[in-house]
Chain A
Amino acid sequence: RYVRQLQRLQLLFSPTAADSRGARQFVEEEALDFARQNPDVVLYVSPRAGPAPVLLAEYMNGTVREELIASKTSEEIKQLATKLAGQSGLDIIRIRKPFHTDNPSIQGQWHPLTNKPSALTVQGPRLQPQ
């Protein structure tokens, strides 16, 4: 079954600053709808007087992603929140290979002595097979 990898979504904004206007609109109008549409997403709203408004997303594997929401409309913040809610906490870099195994070899990985006759089967002038 699908387990949402987002642990918590913290909306930190200032109640008076001008760039938090979108965040305040989001909290007033769309935060409740967003929370109802995604019941398994935990949304914490904390107004604090301080630096720029930020949307903090913490994931199950420990990664914390900060997204600045200064001077963004409430619509954009909602889209950003849905995007973060759908992500997992893996870093967003180029994946080198689309596959991975922990046990690549079942019959035993090749080493220089795999296809050589062992001491049990060598037939030399004096060595007899046992």
Chain B
Amino acid sequence: MVLLSAPRWLRSRLTDRFWRVQEVLKYARHFRGRKNRCYKLAVRSVRRAFVKSTKARREKKRFLRALWITRIEAASLEHGLKYPAFISNLIKSQVELNRKMIADLAIYEPKTFKSLAALAQRRRQEGFLAALGDGKEPEGIFSRIVHHY
């Protein structure tokens, strides 16, 4: 229905109010209380929910990283290593795995994780020898650095 003149527009009625209201209420259906039914309350709740979800995207990254760190800590304690020792020695041995992959390995590939923990332990011992020995012993095997450039 094309309303071609201003007097015609002024006489028209709003006919799709139901669908405009449903557009908002469909995002509020799983809320608790009256804000999943009543439009006036739902508008505010839906807007706050969207704002919170956009802001939470930055926190999600922090939260997931903390979760991975907790899991790696638990897994490395099973093998007798603490998390700072594990991660620092892994980086010194040039193993560039990020915490997400190490956490997935710890869950799904426990033997690989055990070998990673053994590598970190060996590098740790070599580090101690290099720092405390200070003699003419040769450098540790796992302390060698490979340059890729």
Chain A residues within 8 Å of B, Cβ to Cβ: 104-110, 114-115
Contact assessment for B108 and A110 in the assembled complex, using a CB-CB cutoff below 8 Å: yes
State the main secondary structure of chain A at its contact with B. Answer: loop
A92 → chain B closest CB, angstroms: 16
7 new A-B pairs (CB below 8 Å) besides A107-B110, A107-B111, A110-B75?
A104-B108, A105-B107, A105-B109, A107-B108, A109-B107, A110-B107, A115-B78
Residue pairs across A and B with Cβ atoms less than 8 A apart, 20 shown, are A104-B108, A105-B107, A105-B109, A106-B108, A106-B109, A107-B108, A107-B110, A107-B111, A107-B112, A108-B110, A109-B107, A110-B75, A110-B106, A110-B107, A110-B108, A110-B110, A115-B78, A115-B79, A115-B110, A115-B114
When C-beta atoms are compared, the residue in chain B nearest to A114 turns out to be B110
Chain B residues within 8 Å of A, Cβ to Cβ: 75, 78-79, 106-112, 114
Question: Which 7 A-B pairs rank lowest in CB-CB distance, beginning with the nearest?
Answer: A105-B108, A115-B78, A107-B109, A110-B110, A107-B111, A114-B110, A104-B108
When C-beta atoms are compared, the residue in chain B nearest to A108 turns out to be B110
Cβ contacts under 8 Å, A109 to chain B: 107-108
Taken together as a complex, chains A and B put the C-alpha atoms of A122 and B110 apart, in Å, by: 20
Taken together as a complex, chains A and B put the C-alpha atoms of A108 and B108 apart, in Å, by: 6
Taken together as a complex, chains A and B put the C-alpha atoms of A91 and B111 apart, in Å, by: 39
Taken together as a complex, chains A and B put the C-alpha atoms of A54 and B75 apart, in Å, by: 58
When C-beta atoms are compared, the residue in chain A nearest to B114 turns out to be A115
Cβ contacts under 8 Å, A104 to chain B: 108
Cβ contacts under 8 Å, A108 to chain B: 110
Cβ contacts under 8 Å, B79 to chain A: 115
Taken together as a complex, chains A and B put the C-alpha atoms of A115 and B106 apart, in Å, by: 11
A103 → chain B closest CB, angstroms: 10
Taken together as a complex, chains A and B put the C-alpha atoms of A104 and B106 apart, in Å, by: 12
Cβ contacts under 8 Å, B78 to chain A: 115
When C-beta atoms are compared, the residue in chain A nearest to B107 turns out to be A110
When C-beta atoms are compared, the residue in chain A nearest to B78 turns out to be A115
A52 → chain B closest CB, angstroms: 16
Cβ contacts under 8 Å, A110 to chain B: 75, 106-108, 110
Cβ contacts under 8 Å, A114 to chain B: 110
Taken together as a complex, chains A and B put the C-alpha atoms of A105 and B79 apart, in Å, by: 20
Cβ contacts under 8 Å, B114 to chain A: 115
Cβ contacts under 8 Å, A106 to chain B: 108-109
When C-beta atoms are compared, the residue in chain A nearest to B71 turns out to be A110
Cβ contacts under 8 Å, B109 to chain A: 105-107
